[in-house]
Chains A and B, each alone.
Chain A
Amino acid sequence: MEEPLTPQSKVERNEGTIFWVVGFVLLFVLPVLNVLPAEDSWLHLSDFALNRFGKFLAFAILALGLDLIWGYAGILSLGQGVFFGLGAYCMGMHLMLTIGSESVYGSALPDFMVWNQVTGLPFFWKPFYSFTAAVFAGLLVPAAFALLFGFLAFRSRIRGVYFAIITQALALMAWLVFNRNETNLGGTNGLTDFKTILGFRLSEPGTQLALYVITVLCLGGAYLLCRWIIVSRAGRVLIAIRDSEQRVLFSGYSPANYKLFVFVVSAALAGLAGILYVPQVGIITPAQMGVLPSLEMVIWVAVGGRATLVGAIVGAVGVNLGRSLLTNHFPELWPFFLGGLFVAVVLLFPDGVMGITRKLSEKVANRTAPLRKTSAVEEEQV
């Protein structure tokens, strides 16, 4: 077995087992708890809770992609919200078109076009009649956009804080453009009031359950993809770029190509998250793709722990679950909590939740096997 690059915690060493256990819980236990127990049983998981959880897991897919570029390749992108939004809008446009004459005005055109006095369907809406085309577009449009943007940025060696700023500017621009009515994307109100997906009613609990299961499967797939990238040789180069880009450059690798690759992968994952988000939440507006949501996504990864894939998932689900609970019970406290969380992470746990588990298991290991530890150190010195 290869030596790990960083000291690993118990959680990371047992990642395989945990993957199957968590997968089993998410894929079987939660849906069964939703379907089988009676409504008033304490075991019962409400449709609403399952649907919320599906949304958090969609966010976790995005967090995986962000962790891939930020945690492993060291590129801080503050524009992940844009790629998320692009994926979400692709799916949203398809769902808008399937509403058909069920819309408020009874027109085949989406409602907002009717009240904006748009008479014909704009040309770029037409391919979205097809579900397959919408899904492919939701993955490929963010990826293509990231390819173009990343090509220009990495070619001219824009990196570090420069790259973060440029991507933040990108998020602002996307927000401004999607807010406009003349881009025919629903303006500030976004796309909403969806009725069906592939002929199934979105309001049915069964449809939502299926969407949840698909989200879990996609998350599993995304996790395996990221894991595969990281343990591959390309993953080694990415980690090397994070630690010393110049040394990688002088060793004869082209950091720009590796960075471009991982940026495109993360954009496609963000797009996938968007595709899964829209039918479960039922609305997509420019507010979900602007500067602030993009920053929040970075917070998820920081809280969970950079450079650990599990951490990204834990962070995304944890922060959003926390937000969901806190906004329900103490609506005024949520911003303070989020800010405090980030300060605490920066000051106290720079490696996030995963850093805490790593420290704990190190402590346990030190207490139980002090002899083994010292012998390992001696071996290293030889």
Chain B
Amino acid sequence: MVGVFLPFNRLFIIGLSILCVTGIYGLLFRSSVGLRVRAVMQNRNMSACLGIPTRKVDAYTFAFGSGLAGIAGWALTLVGNVEPGLGQNYIVDSFMVVVTGGVGKLAGTIIASLGIGGLNKLMEPSLGAVYGKVLILVLVILFLQWRPSGLFAVKGRHAEG
């Protein structure tokens, strides 16, 4: 492809993301810790009855998630500038990715992040950064009309939908 330029630091970030996602997959879906995390997420009361320390699981999951955010921040320093308000630019984007993908679904998060990120960059040249973002929000809201719990909803007899 002509004009495609892949600097090493961006390749490194892509590699790092793949590594992290693989790690998270292993931890969440291939280990006993992950089993507990998923159990607490799906049915807190039942997990507590079966002897899972739900509060501890909450605390560890939160700590793990915060650590992952730290890795993301570490990768960001390679492509952007560092300032105290750095995280604010990503709060809404990352929340929207999770909502679109479906809470608690790794595949959904991956596809939604690639989709939203890619779409954003595709629209930026023609619409500008601000209206591109606004359009993304509108698209996400419309998308949720069609699939209220994201791309990959947790299946089951949930009235929560």
Chain A residues packing against B (C-beta within 8 Å): 149, 152-153, 155-158, 161-162, 165-166, 168-170, 172-173, 176-177, 179-180, 246, 249-250, 291
Q: What are 9 sample pairs from A and B whose C-beta atoms fall under 8 A apart?
A: A155-B145, A157-B148, A162-B99, A166-B141, A169-B95, A169-B140, A172-B92, A180-B130, A291-B91
Roughly how many angstroms separate A91 CA and B142 CA in the complex, as a whole number? 31
Q: How far is the CB of A29 from chain B (nearest CB, A)?
A: 43
Supplied contacts A149-B141, A169-B95, A170-B137, 13 more A-B pairs, CB within 8 Å: A153-B141, A156-B146, A156-B148, A158-B144, A168-B91, A168-B92, A169-B96, A172-B92, A176-B133, A177-B134, A179-B130, A291-B88, A291-B92
Given A156-B144, A177-B134, the answer on whether A161 and B92 have CB atoms closer than 8 Å is no
Contact B141–A152 (Cβ < 8 Å): yes
Contacts of A246 in B (CB 8 A): 159-160
Q: Which residue of B lies closest to A172 (CB)?
A: B92
Contact B145–A161 (Cβ < 8 Å): no
Interface of B is mostly: helix
B residues 71-88 near A (Cβ < 8 Å) are 88
Contact A173–B137 (Cβ < 8 Å): yes
Contacts of B92 in A (CB 8 A): 165, 168-169, 172, 291
A-contact bits for B122-161, CB 8 A (1 contact / 0 none)? 0000000010011001001110111011000000000111
B24 at the A interface (CB under 8 A): no
Given A156-B145, A157-B148, A158-B148, the answer on whether A173 and B95 have CB atoms closer than 8 Å is no
Interface of A is mostly: helix
B111 at the A interface (CB under 8 A): no
Contact B130–A177 (Cβ < 8 Å): yes
Contacts of A177 in B (CB 8 A): 130, 134
Q: Which residue of A lies closest to B128 (CB)?
A: A180
How many of chain B's residues touch chain A, expressed as a range? 20 to 34
Contact A161–B103 (Cβ < 8 Å): yes
Contact B103–A173 (Cβ < 8 Å): no
Contact B161–A166 (Cβ < 8 Å): no
Q: How far is the CB of A33 from chain B (nearest CB, A)?
A: 42
Choose among A156, A169, A179, A249 the residue that contacts B137 (Cβ–Cβ < 8 A): A169
Q: How far is the CB of B126 from chain A (nearest CB, A)?
A: 15
Contact B159–A166 (Cβ < 8 Å): no
Given A156-B148, A169-B92, the answer on whether A249 and B159 have CB atoms closer than 8 Å is yes
Q: How far is the CB of B97 from chain A (nearest CB, A)?
A: 10
Roughly how many angstroms separate A179 CA and B91 CA in the complex, as a whole number? 19
Q: How far is the CB of B108 from chain A (nearest CB, A)?
A: 13
Contacts of A165 in B (CB 8 A): 92, 95-96, 98-99
Roughly how many angstroms separate A296 CA and B135 CA in the complex, as a whole number? 27
Considering residues A176, A179, A249, which has the most beta carbons from chain B within 10 angstroms of its beta carbon? A176
Roughly how many angstroms separate A50 CA and B130 CA in the complex, as a whole number? 39
Roughly how many angstroms separate A291 CA and B92 CA in the complex, as a whole number? 10
Contact A176–B130 (Cβ < 8 Å): yes
Q: How far is the CB of B42 from chain A (nearest CB, A)?
A: 15
Closest CB pairs A-B (n = 6): A165-B95, A156-B148, A176-B130, A156-B145, A172-B92, A169-B92
Roughly how many angstroms separate A100 CA and B149 CA in the complex, as a whole number? 51
Given A168-B91, A246-B159, the answer on whether A173 and B148 have CB atoms closer than 8 Å is no
Roughly how many angstroms separate A280 CA and B131 CA in the complex, as a whole number? 32
Q: Which residue of A lies closest to B159 (CB)?
A: A246
Roughly how many angstroms separate A156 CA and B153 CA in the complex, as a whole number? 14
Q: Which residue of B lies closest to A155 (CB)?
A: B145
Q: How far is the CB of A296 from chain B (nearest CB, A)?
A: 14
Contact A166–B99 (Cβ < 8 Å): yes
Roughly how many angstroms separate A250 CA and B160 CA in the complex, as a whole number? 12
Contacts of A168 in B (CB 8 A): 91-92, 95
Q: Which residue of A lies closest to B146 (CB)?
A: A156
